Amino acid sequence: MSAPETGAPGAPPRRRFPEGTTAEDLKAYMGPFVERLGYKFNTDGEFVAMVLEGELEVLATTGDVYCPCRMRTGDPKEDVKIICPCIPFFRDEFAGMRKCWCGLFIRADVEDGAALMGVIAEPEGPIEVPVARVDDMRDGEARRVKVGKTALAVFRVDGEFFALSDVCRHAFAPLSEGWLDGHAVMCPWHGWRYDVRDGTTDHPDADVRTYPVTVRDGEVLVTV
Amino acid sequence: MRVKVFALSTCPYCRMSRQFLDENGVAYDVVEVDKLEDDDKQTAIAEVKSLSGGTSFPVIVVGDEVVVGYNKVRIKELLGL
Ligand code: SF4
Ligand code: FES
């Protein structure tokens, strides 16, 4: 067994996928995760097999399932973003293409994955990005979701969803870590209150941006 | 027209792009970046970055145009297929 070069010297190697890992193992591991993100495996099974074969090759040489279509930089902070599935790090790009870069995953609402093959350009203008599943959030719950460079705070109040900028206008605290009181969120740092419906606050010129939210087929989509 | 494909050996779109060029009788050079060693690899990565602005593959150079990904429509257009 060859030891991977990751981890501190002397530390036991951290390997999610030991030698002998198969494409089926990867599928079983990744499936439930990408489902949470609003994605599924490409409907073209032959293509999926081809991508996973590439990932297994990468796994054998590097010790983890880095994207088979992108080159590792050698900087662990950067490379952690291209461990498959990399959807959380490229939510906006992939939502626009309706698939991940390699096409291993397609958005849950896409019926024919093969038809998306070769699509690499992002459409212009606003895009709907899946940020949560309705069932994964309870009333009164908040969640921080990064979409590209934008940090969103997604709230659920009385079965309804709201998305605002996750940056408090006072001293930039994450509003997603605050407390809900009806439709008001209290900032965790100094208690400024924002209305999650329209981002307004009682401090002059300090409203936060809100983003349109759509709920479709059990998924919460934010337009950014 | 000079055609050059920067590819990774593990990447399905790279394989599909090459197959597409083969099927259409297009002659091209190919660099499998992950199979290169040391300096050659770094040089190739730097070239890919400057051409495409990233490190996603394939990067296909057709004359002075650069196509990132298996963008069949664009490749056809550039090659007049
Ligand atoms: S682009 Fe697709 S195949 Fe590549 S790492 Fe991301 S999710 Fe995995
Ligand atoms: S940072 Fe939000 S109230 Fe101060």
Using the 3D structure, point to which of A66, A83, A116 is the last residue of a domain: A116
Residues A212 and A168 in one domain: yes
Chain A residues whose CB is inside 8 A of the B9 CB are: 57
Look at residue A150 and tell me whether its pLDDT is greater than 50: yes
Residue ranges making up the domain that contains A198: 128-223
Residues A52 and A97 in one domain: yes
Confidence of residue A1 (pLDDT cuts 50, 70, 90): very low
Confidence of residue A33 (pLDDT cuts 50, 70, 90): very high
Please report the pLDDT score of residue A216 as a whole number: 95
Higher-pLDDT residue of A16 and A43 is A43
Q: Which residues pair with A155 in a beta bridge?
A: A142, A162
- Please give the tally of structural domains in chain A: 2
Q: Residue A137 in contact with residue A180, Cβ under 8 Å? A: no
Instruction: Using CB atoms, pick whichever of A57, A101, A121 lies closest to residue B10.
Output: A57
Contact B13 A69 (CB under 8 A): yes
Contact B12 A50 (CB under 8 A): yes
For A11-30, how does the pLDDT look when each residue is reduced to its tens digit (9 = 90+)? 656 678 988 999 999 999 99
Ligand nearest to the CA of A59: 1
For B48-66, how does the pLDDT look when each residue is reduced to its tens digit (9 = 90+)? 999 999 899 999 999 999 9
Select from A53, A66, A86 the residue to mutate for testing ligand 1; criterion: most ligand atoms less than 8 Å from CB.
Answer: A86
Q: Does some domain include residue A5? A: no
Chain A residues whose CB is inside 8 A of the B33 CB are: 71
Residue of A98, A124, A122 whose CA lies nearest to A109:
A98
Ligand nearest to the CA of B69: 1
Supply φ then ψ for residue A142, to 5 degrees.
-125, 155
For A94-124, how does the pLDDT look when each residue is reduced to its tens digit (9 = 90+)? 998 999 999 999 999 999 988 887 766 666 7
**Rounded average pLDDT over A165-185:** 97
Q: Does some domain include residue A1? A: no
Using the 3D structure, point to which of A116, A147, A168 is the last residue of a domain: A116
Spell out which chain B residues touch chain A, with contact meaning CB-CB distance below 8 angstroms: 8-16, 33-34, 45, 48, 54-57, 68-73
Please report the pLDDT score of residue A14 as a whole number: 65
Residues A197 and A151 in one domain: yes
Correct CATH for B3-79 of 3.40.50.9100, 3.30.530.20, 3.40.30.10, 3.40.50.150: 3.40.30.10
Spell out which chain A residues touch chain B, with contact meaning CB-CB distance below 8 angstroms: 47, 50-51, 54-55, 57-58, 68-71, 73, 101-103, 117-121
For A68-89, how does the pLDDT look when each residue is reduced to its tens digit (9 = 90+)? 999 998 888 999 999 999 999 9
Among positive and negative, which fits the CA dihedral B38, B43, B49, B55? negative
Mean pLDDT by 10 residues, chain B (81 residues): 94 94 96 94 94 93 93 91 88
Please report the pLDDT score of residue A10 as a whole number: 60
